A and B are shown apart, each in its own frame.
Chain A
Amino acid sequence: MENYFEFINSVKICAGQNALENIPFELDFLGCKKPLILSDMGVSKAGVLDIVLKILQNSNVNCNTIFKDIPADSDISVINKIASLYKAQNCDGLIACGGGSVIDTAKGVKMVLSQNSDDILALSGNEVIKKGKHIPFIVLPTTCGTGSECTSVAVIKNHETSVKMEFISSELLPDVAFVDVRLTQTLPPKLIASSAMDALCHCIEAYSGIQKNYISDAYAQTAIRLIVKNLPVVLTKPNDTARTELALASTLAGIAFSNSMVGIVHAIGHACGGDVNIPHGNAMAILLPECMKYNLENSRNEYGELLLYLAGPDIYASTPKEKRAETAIQFVEEFEKQLHNVCGLPLLLSDYNVTEEDLPKIAKKAINDGAIIVNKKPADEEEIIKILQECL
């Protein structure tokens, strides 16, 4: 653990039964009467947006301004378009209802509006954004993986240059996040498994990276316990409690990694997403065990400690201390195989037709990803290619 750390999570979390009913109250508290509602077609077709709109319509909130055309990758031109709509319609707050892309787009819109900036690219980077005008911002996450509702990070694509720009600032944090079973109950099992693996990865990387700290450790430990307990239940015999706890785990994992960052799994996973179009959660599932093996000697203590939260107290207590880290990795592998058997979660890069020839360009991109810097064990292109070869 470093002898200095910073931790921030200013997001109010409304979690559990009937949480969504409190949206009008929270908007009123924030002084927002006419929010701009952001979502995408998938969320809209699944009927999730209708649930939210019905609640707003039964209050004194004006919910007529809705933007549903958010693409799969948050995009600069879409952000500028939404910011113009916000101004033209005299909106006074933002509601993001969707997955990572919708939430990141909303964060981009918030940045442009609060900084009164015409050029979002000028705001890219780490901690460069200064305190701006307050834009009331509520997030309703509809997946159980990104944790974006509680992170200081947004990834936004510049389609002109095909470059994904990273924005890291506490100014991106929403005011309120809602965790309600109604937001995730239409998610298909495979997507639940893949997004939950993303959350598990957030926890393990946050707990074992060089930016780890005592507070985010606590969030990561709890989130791991909730994922391992609830994910199999949600996939086989779903109930509201398990769904809520799984969604909450994603939020907690988001808080953990927002403060401790992620590592090599995400660095390679982002490159896989950009170059060979592997969905992020699936890339995490494929890469996690091999990356843990790569990090083993540098993160032995942390992985050993995580065995308690992964496998429970009985296995932890009966495993010799020097074997706990390896057992934790084995547990992750077995857990993933179980998910593969239940819902077909892909476990190999070859499931996406990735070949040996694709590996150098993935590795080249991965070493330039911001996440690589906080991985405990440094990695170069050759080492990343070796990891990828093990995942083929």
Chain B
Amino acid sequence: MVKKNKFCNLIYTCLARGIAGLYKKDSNIKKEIDSLPDGFKINLGILTSGNYIGLIKTNNGLFIQKNGFEIADLNVYFKNVKATKRVMLARQSVAQSYSRHELIVGGDIARAMVLVRIINRVECYLFPRFMTKNILPKIKKQTCTIGVYMKVLFCSYKYKKGSK
């Protein structure tokens, strides 16, 4: 039995809450998420440690499924914990991770590009510019970072089965 990495669980949760929270606050993120069909399921995770989180697009935004879905339309997995931490802590971009063969994508690669752009934008909110300036292009923020932190801390965006 592989031991799950608690820290990775935490950062995945923060990222997922950041995405779900920014759906209603950032028009670019909303546009990207709205380009996915309702019911579209995404699993994000680490292949070797068993850390997974699921995201589902509904007509009311994006919601989170703890531990991921059994079957998803798009699976994006990191090969190891270190690679995950480098991306999730803004030490390298998703593109850099992809170019280092650290990412496995199961499903339509075009949909994965949507997710990459969403993660890039969310990271620009979650991290100060001095941390992201070498890995991500500057964005024009549409809401204040503190508001995003509040959503990450206090809104669970938990997916309730059956809601569309």
* A residues neighboring B (CB under 8 Å): 2, 4-6, 124-128, 163, 165-166, 168, 209-211, 261, 367-370, 372-374, 378
Pairs A–B under 8 Å by Cβ, sample size 29: A2-B100, A5-B101, A124-B106, A124-B107, A124-B109, A125-B75, A125-B106, A125-B107, A126-B98, A126-B105, A126-B109, A127-B103, A127-B104, A127-B105, A128-B104, A128-B105, A128-B106, A165-B108, A211-B99, A367-B117, A368-B111, A369-B113, A370-B113, A372-B113, A373-B94, A373-B95, A373-B98, A373-B99, A374-B95
How many whole Å from A10's CB to the nearest CB in chain B? 16
The docked-state distance in angstroms from the alpha carbon of A363 to that of B145 is 30
The docked-state distance in angstroms from the alpha carbon of A126 to that of B103 is 8
In this complex, the interface size class of chain B, counting residues with CB under 8 Å from chain A, is 20 to 34
The docked-state distance in angstroms from the alpha carbon of A127 to that of B107 is 11
B137 closest partner in A (C-beta) = A378
B100–A4 touching, CB < 8 Å:
yes
B116–A373 touching, CB < 8 Å:
yes
B113–A374 touching, CB < 8 Å:
no
Residues of A within 8 A of B105 (CB): 125-128
Nearest 8 pairs of A and B residues by beta carbon = A211-B99, A368-B110, A370-B109, A126-B105, A128-B106, A125-B106, A125-B105, A368-B113
Interface residues in B62-116 (C-beta closer than 8 Å to A): 75, 94-96, 98-101, 103-114, 116
The docked-state distance in angstroms from the alpha carbon of A370 to that of B100 is 15
A126–B104 touching, CB < 8 Å:
yes
Residues of A within 8 A of B111 (CB): 368
How many whole Å from B75's CB to the nearest CB in chain A? 8
Most buried by B among A6, A125, A163, A168: A125
Residues of B within 8 A of A378 (CB): 95, 137
How many whole Å from A133's CB to the nearest CB in chain B? 20
A163–B116 touching, CB < 8 Å:
no
B116 closest partner in A (C-beta) = A373
Most buried by A among B94, B96, B112, B113: B113
